[in-house]
Structure 1
Amino acid sequence: MDSPTPSNREPSWRFSIAPMLDCTDRHFRQLMRQISRHALLYSEMVVAQALHHCQRRERLLDFDQEEHPIALQVGGDQPELLAEATRMAADWGYDEINFNVGCPSPRVQAGNFGACLMAEPNRVARCVEAMVAASALPVTVKHRVGIDDLDSDTLLTAFVDQLAAAGATRFSVHARKAWLEGLDPKQNRTIPPLEHERVIALKQRRPELMIELNGGLDTPEQCLKALHHCDGAMVGRAAYAHPLRWAAMDALIFGDPLRTVKASDVITGLMPHAERHLNRGGRLWDLCRHLVQLVEGVPGARQWRRDLGQHAQRAGADLSVLERSARQLTEAGL
């Protein structure tokens, strides 16, 4: 999956950017690829049923070659549709496919997928089996440590055992349980306590399985600590809110020479992608809405964000907006 790279390089999933709805679109992935050349990137969750019915699947599946390595995350509960989605992912050139069994959104629950499927391990196993049979892509699963009252280490272990037997190759475990009633998705990311020790204990019980720790990893140091116990570290909101914080990960994990990545470098690196997006009829703000987090904690950051937002949201905003923003940052040494 990581070719062409040296055979002794750590696999990309040792450090990954979690799939996040309304965040990890192709523009944010391009941004993160400026910061890390090797981290595994994920799409937003794509619903298998939507893929089946969509007439313009490229809107849901397209990505640019420089985004590799990249995984498609899918949601659903029908094995045949998930198998079809897996074949599409392989045809489109994705490196992996990930099955979402962790999202607690009421809208997702209404479709009987996401975290509520942890109550139906047999159904999840059938879905994984169908996905594995559909292509040669690695099939991975993202899930919680538990849901509602189905929240014990015995149940968690049985869950991953059954999915591993069905062919799942890796488990991204969000170290919080999900309350499916009474908490909204945002609250489910913060109110249930973090239980890293339970994910670590799962890895200790099943050392032969590939287990990634997800949830509450806010700094590179925390990721490195997680890697002492688990096979991978997956970062979500902290990557979106503080993208430049992760610029050293290629050196710390993948053995690259340490390089300084400035905000101006990121914007300059995004110019070809922005030009392609505008030429396809896209709006500059589609990309720039992700850039406002690039600059923080320095004098003038708020004014720079305000200027970028005002200019990028105007009708007809073009590359000159990015060029101006990059020039401002370069003059400030950022």
Structure 2
Amino acid sequence: MKIVAWNVRGAGKNSCASTIKDLKKAFNIDILAVLEPRISGPRALTVAQNLGFSHYHIVDATGFFGGVWLLWNGNSVSLHVVAHSSQSITALVTLGNQWWLLTVVYANPCSRIRESLWKYFDGLACASHLPWLVLGDFNDIASAGEKCGGNLDLGGRSFVEWIDRNQLVDLGFFGAKFTWCNKRNAEGIIWKRLDRGLCNINWRLLFPEAHLSYLPRVNSDHCLVLVSLDSNHYPARGCTPFRFQAMWMSHPDFPKFIHANWSIGDGHASQKSARLKSSLISWNRQVFGCLFQKKRRLLTRLASIQRKLCWGHNPYLCDLENELTKNYNMLLEQEALLVAEIKKYMA
């Protein structure tokens, strides 16, 4: 199971919706939390319905502030929302005979309002002793080492006390050290680790191989937070199954290619299919594969640049980050055009 939480700071933007759809497909996301979408009402419903998930629960933003959405695929996960507040949504997740709680959070930037959230979570913890994962943007840090730049900040005392009081464990992370950047000039730039995953001991014991990764910041000033419940030891590349890609049919030479390769040699249908599969893999790599490889390479480069920027401002790397983000968005637009052509072809 894959769970993602992302502070998008405006889910109504086309770039955010395109990024969510792309990452959903790339990482096989089962559950998505959209934080601070800054839209509400009918417009929020329209955007949520078009993100490709079968179910959703929305806590509306207040004007242009806040908001929390929880979206999930009903065919891959059994999830039932049991509580929500202005800053969080809590759901009961069922995996086989295992039950656990997932809380997604967008904590208020105002410390007074944010402290009320920790008290609310105390109540949740007392009401249930189930395994519990809390994920999202906490708008606070736990120590001075989770901030770079600006005035000295030791972290919110109430936040740390809540973590200790409930004996929560930080999942740690793979990726950049900081998850948020104010994107100002060299004198005023500030980095913080505002986004994280916390769990109780029961959840950690239930999912000992679960791990958290910070994906590159794209079209937002926050990293995406990805929690995978499975091991981070992935199968060898050669073990991935072959999948026919519908977009291949949009290429004008595809029918000729199939006819030519199917006609080569003798044998029954299964033998011809096996030969055709290897030809399709090579053809995809030369024709279409480059599009997806470019996206993967761009995200990898962005992740590397953002890790380096956590250690100090570098104008060249900042410019390169902006350029790579533009290139990523351009590839998303190209892919959207390709999908449109496929739909036209198949109509």
TM-score by length of 2: 0.38
Whichever structure has more helix as a proportion of its residues is 1
Higher relative contact order (CA 8 A, sep 6+): 1
